[in-house]
């Protein structure tokens, strides 16, 4: 039976643990304490269909005392339900509502886990509400977060947050290359990383190849029109099967790299940070290593799936509900995909491009975030020292 809250104006609203926890955090409870009390409150009223807001407030106070003691209750704000107050964040002439979600996202770019970042955002909002600070500059907000991370976690992580939260203020754009064989999770990971880093532009080499196919017909560049797993078609017959595949793949990647270079050059010219993902990135990643950070901060990374069975399972999952990417097509070519996978990894190692095993999504995400921001920090420091 759903529980409803009767407000003082006699309006009724459904009880939601998340909403109650949010208000308890505004009163001064920690994230964990607030969610524990909201869980206790739902259990306390489980036999009732309705409860007044005053009764709920009284019960919540008793639950706090029972679980955490009277001293904790004394230090909390009295207010539990909304008052219409809203914290606003301003920068120059622009003002926006304070968002715990956006702040959490920016904090995770430092490498902190989402739950740790979420806690910082919640605590900061509660602190501002408690002090009745309803208008704060973006710089002051940043300083508050920076100080909290430095105190509760680590000065190095605080420095990474400082860098990650100001990508748009760097002297040159950030270009992240996420390469690897088919089925290693590049597309999904690129989207997730873009969100955490605040990068708005993502380009896939498959898209670039499709555009190039419209320009260069099959009779002109036949290798461009084959899938990567069938790239050996048309290669010299005197080569072995695997050599034909890798030779064809390298040729195709080199052709697509022309389009990738054009996209990167445009991003550099417009000073726009971006993520490029795809199987055809190897030539561009190798070139980025050689170029260093002359025009942009280049960060090439290879995604891998070392466990062959798990790699195959990804294609089984990919086929569910997606007619455009039928699993049978990939499974028939799986041996070729694995051959390209091994070649990509070996070439990456030879060129000192980081290879990350994408076995666990959360772990990989955290690894990539730390790798990206640490690499960026090194490049920024290198650029500054070369200028001085």
pLDDT tens by residue, 205-238: 999 999 998 988 888 888 888 888 887 787 787 8
pLDDT tens by residue, 121-168: 888 888 888 788 889 998 899 999 999 999 988 888 898 888 888 888
Q: Are 173 and 273 in contact (CB under 8 A)?
A: yes
pLDDT band at 110 (very low <50, low <70, confident <90, very high): confident
Q: Is the pLDDT of residue 318 over 80?
A: no
DSSP E strands: which ranges in the chain? 4-6, 12-14, 50-52, 88-91, 94-97, 135-137, 174-179, 202-204, 274-278, 297-304, 354-357
According to the model, what pLDDT value does residue 342 have?
95
According to the model, what pLDDT value does residue 262 have?
95
Q: Are 323 and 335 in contact (CB under 8 A)?
A: no
Q: Is the pLDDT of residue 112 over 70?
A: yes
Distance CA 107, CA 158 (A): 9
> Is 39 or 81 the better-scoring residue by pLDDT?
39
Token pair 């990206």 is at which residue? 372
- Cα distances (Å, whole numbers) of residue 336 to 228, 323, 339, 340: 9, 22, 5, 6
According to the model, what pLDDT value does residue 309 have?
92
From 289, 206, 291, select the one nearest 252 (Cα to Cα). 206
pLDDT tens by residue, 85-107: 788 998 877 888 888 878 888 88
pLDDT band at 14 (very low <50, low <70, confident <90, very high): confident
Beta bridge partners of 277: 178, 204
According to the model, what pLDDT value does residue 320 have?
58
According to the model, what pLDDT value does residue 166 have?
82
Q: What are phi and psi of 3, to 5 degrees?
A: -90, 135
Residues 6+ apart with CB under 8 A from 228: 182, 249, 252, 279, 280, 340
Q: Which CATH superfamily is domain 171-387 in?
A: P-loop containing nucleotide triphosphate hydrolases (3.40.50.300)
Q: Are 284 and 260 in contact (CB under 8 A)?
A: yes
From 7, 11, 44, 10, select the one nearest 23 (Cα to Cα). 7
CA angle 141, 268, 366 (to 5 degrees): 50
What average pLDDT does this structure show over 9-29? 80
DSSP, res 235: S
pLDDT tens by residue, 282-301: 999 999 988 888 889 999 99
Q: Is the pTM of this model over 0.95?
A: no
Distance CA 171, CA 345 (A): 32
Distance CA 247, CA 75 (A): 70
> Is 162 or 2 the better-scoring residue by pLDDT?
162
Q: Is the pLDDT of residue 80 over 60?
A: no
Distance CA 303, CA 187 (A): 11
């Amino acid at each position: 039976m759903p529980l409803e809250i009767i407000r003082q104006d006699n309006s009724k609203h459904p009880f939601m643990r998340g909403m109650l926890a949010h208000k308890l955090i505004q009163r001064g409870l920690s994230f964990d304490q607030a969610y524990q009390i909201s869980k206790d409150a739902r259990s306390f009223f489980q036999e009732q269909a309705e409860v007044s807001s005053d009764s709920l407030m009284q019960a919540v106070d008793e639950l706090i005392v029972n679980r955490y003691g009277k001293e904790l209750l004394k230090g909390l704000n009295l207010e539990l339900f909304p008052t219409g107050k809203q914290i606003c964040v301003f920068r120059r002439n622009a003002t926006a509502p304070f968002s715990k979600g956006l702040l959490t996202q920016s904090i995770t770019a430092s490498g902190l886990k989402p739950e740790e970042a979420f806690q910082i955002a919640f605590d900061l909002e509660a602190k501002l509400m408690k002090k009745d600070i309803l208008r704060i500059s973006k710089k002051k907000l940043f300083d508050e977060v920076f100080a909290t991370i430095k105190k509760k976690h680590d000065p190095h992580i605080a420095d990474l947050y400082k860098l990650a939260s100001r990508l748009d203020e760097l002297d040159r754009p950030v270009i992240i290359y996420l390469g690897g064989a088919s089925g290693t999770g590049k597309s999904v990971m690129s989207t997730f990383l873009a969100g955490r880093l605040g990068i708005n532009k993502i380009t896939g080499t498959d898209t670039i190849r499709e555009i190039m196919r419209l320009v260069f017909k099959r009779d002109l560049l036949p290798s461009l029109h084959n899938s990567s797993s069938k790239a050996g078609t048309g290669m010299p017959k005197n080569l072995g099967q695997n050599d034909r595949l890798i030779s064809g793949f390298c040729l195709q990647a080199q052709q697509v790299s022309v389009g990738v270079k054009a996209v990167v050059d445009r991003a550099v010219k417009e000073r726009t940070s971006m993520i490029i993902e795809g199987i055809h990135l190897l030539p561009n990643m190798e070139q980025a290593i050689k170029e260093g950070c002359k025009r942009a901060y280049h960060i090439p990374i290879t995604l891998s799936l070392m466990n062959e069975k798990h790699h195959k399972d990804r294609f089984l999952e990919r086929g569910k509900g997606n007619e455009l990417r039928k699993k049978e097509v990939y499974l028939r070519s799986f041996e070729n995909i694995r051959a390209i996978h091994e070649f990509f990894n070996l070439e990456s190692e030879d060129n000192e491009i980081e290879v990350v095993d994408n076995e666990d999504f959360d772990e990989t995400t955290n690894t990539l975030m730390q790798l990206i921001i640490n690499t960026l920090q090194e490049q920024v420091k290198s650029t500054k020292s070369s200028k001085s």
